[in-house]
Structure 1
Amino acid sequence: MRTAVASLASGSDGDNEDWYSASPHLFVVLDGATARTGTGCSHGIAWYAAHLGAALSEGASDSTLPLQQVLSAGIERVAGLHSWCDLSHSGTPSAAVAMVRIQDDGWTEYLVLGDVSVVLDSTYGIKTVSDDRVSQTATAERRAADEYPIGTALKNEAMIRMKHAELAMRNRPGGYWIAAADPAAADQATVGRVATGDVRRFAVLTDGAARIVVPFGEMTWDELLDLAEKHGPEAVLRKVRAAEASDPLGQRWPRNKRSDDATLALAVNESGE
């Protein structure tokens, strides 16, 4: 597999709550969930994403472990690293997770938990694996927040109300699931596999990168993959930033924030095996 990755922070301060690792056989991409409320934790979101990402990269290197088991063990491991924090707090640091592992037995496995995406381009066409359960929560509060321009005080207040309503549905039946402090969340991940020989290429994206397709609609998944393969993943992220800059107040594309951390990892199967 030929691999390439790009990640851009949302702002000029360079702080990036996404995390990734990529090798010819394993991709791990995390999107730290923005904290708009208290967290009960002395560590930041980027700290959590980095430590969980490292644990998952190490755990998934054991090809005998199912990816859900890798995720469960990783969540438990990171919880042990800051057990003195209030891990029962509704806002405890969390992250969406995607993993793709290319096995020696001819299968490519994937796992998705939270609002990240794996896009597979195979002999059967494009398959997008994503988890939009979080966007199905706090719907009234989301609609209310979308009514205000980005950057206004009213928008910020509405976003806090939305976040509280969203957190009330985190990691519970009927709500959404994300990696936080409870290893049981791993059981709710979407998993699957595809024959590696059928895969021409695939991408793993955080929602900050995927927004150029959904919800912006400025590219199709085919076009995104083509651009990333021809000019590199950063070319896609630059298109994301250009689209965001064209709508700074969120009037064309209502959204939570003007820009989001964006990460795209690409793999191209040049051997066909």
Structure 2
Amino acid sequence: MASENQIVVLDGATARTGTGCMHGISWFVAKLGSTLAGLAADLDASLPSTLMTSIQAVADQHRATCDLLHPGTPSAVVALLRLNETVLEYLVLGDVTVIIDTADGLQVVADDRVDRTARAEREEADRYPFGSAEKQAALLRMKHAELAARNTPGGYWVAAADPTAARYAITGKIPLDTIRRVAVLTDGAARLVALFKLMDWPDVLELLDQHGPTELIRRVRAFEAADPSCMRWARNKRSDDATAVYAV
């Protein structure tokens, strides 16, 4: 979602297990995104408090029908950027990347805490080709290990049912007069850098500037298609949801 003074990007977590929720991931992401965008219009509210209030509001909408204490309760990563008078405020919670090109250089804001969890299970899953029974079993073990570390001290933090997760978001402010351009990429869109190692962040900004987000995602899809077994570039999904936003 984008408006004149804000960008909101959410990416729902893959559900490999039960969720305890009758609505599903898409419902959760849609509700949280719209709520967050609306509340972020209040420039006097900090971004963490805005996210906290949004998580609470969505939780209240399905608390009576769903088990919000279920370890697999729907969750999403969040990036929120807001123009507030003379500064650009940003918030990142989960594995989404914000790239800010400033007069002082490139600032990349990324939350890699999830990648530090379930390492043994992740490495085991990487040994098997996508679609194999061994891969599926390993991915399930990895998911359980990740969920055990989700929204816990020493683990990683995402927007789910507990609003206190917002306190662990990465936040900052940058003077507007120093900013040249900004990009927000979900992990699926960031694969050219983070997974395939075929570009760096300045390359990504130039690609977005010259050809836009559609071309970035087209290139991601081309490399994914060239490795259907996921063995050249080890990954948990053959093709991941990809969202890219570019603003100048």
TM-score band by shorter chain is over 0.9
Q: State how far apart, in whole Å, the 2-side matches of 1:192 and 1:172 are.
A: 23
Q: CA deviation at 1:24?
A: 2.4
Q: Which residue is 2:153 aligned to?
A: 173
SS at match of 1:96: strand
4+ long deviations beyond 3 Å: none
Of residues 102, 113, 129, the one that matches 2:83 is 102
Q: State how far apart, in whole Å, the 2-side matches of 1:127 and 1:24 are.
A: 22
Q: CA deviation at 1:250?
A: 1.1
Give the letter aligned to residue 188 of structure 2. Answer: G
| Partner deviation per Cα, 1:173-204 (whole Å, 9 max, x = no partner) | 01111000000000000000101111100101
TM-score with structure 1 setting the length: 0.89
TM-score with structure 2 setting the length: 0.98
Q: How does 1:118-267 map to 2 (within 5 A)?
A: 118-267=98-247
Q: State how far apart, in whole Å, the 1-side matches of 2:217 and 2:76 are.
A: 20
1:86 maps to 2:86: no
Which sits farther off after the overlay, 217-226 or 255-264?
Answer: 217-226
What is the number of residues matched between the two proteins?
247
SS at match of 1:213: helix
Q: State how far apart, in whole Å, the 1-side matches of 2:104 and 2:234 are.
A: 34
In the alignment, structure 1 segments of 5+ residues that lack a partner are: 1-20, 269-273
In the alignment, structure 2 segments of 5+ residues that lack a partner are: none
| Partner deviation per Cα, 1:24-76 (whole Å, 9 max, x = no partner) | 21000001000000101101111111100001100101111100001000000
| Partner deviation per Cα, 1:146-170 (whole Å, 9 max, x = no partner) | 0000111110111001000110011
Q: CA deviation at 1:220?
A: 1.3
Q: How does 1:69-80 map to 2 (within 5 A)?
A: 69-80=49-60
Q: CA deviation at 1:259?
A: 0.3
Q: Which residue is 1:58 aligned to?
A: 38
Q: State how far apart, in whole Å, the 1-side matches of 2:193 and 2:83 are.
A: 26
Give the letter aligned to residue 193 of structure 1. Answer: K
Q: CA deviation at 1:82?
A: 0.3
Q: State how far apart, in whole Å, the 1-side matches of 2:117 and 2:99 are.
A: 24
Q: State how far apart, in whole Å, the 2-side matches of 1:24 and 1:130 are.
A: 24
- Cα RMSD over matched residues? 0.7
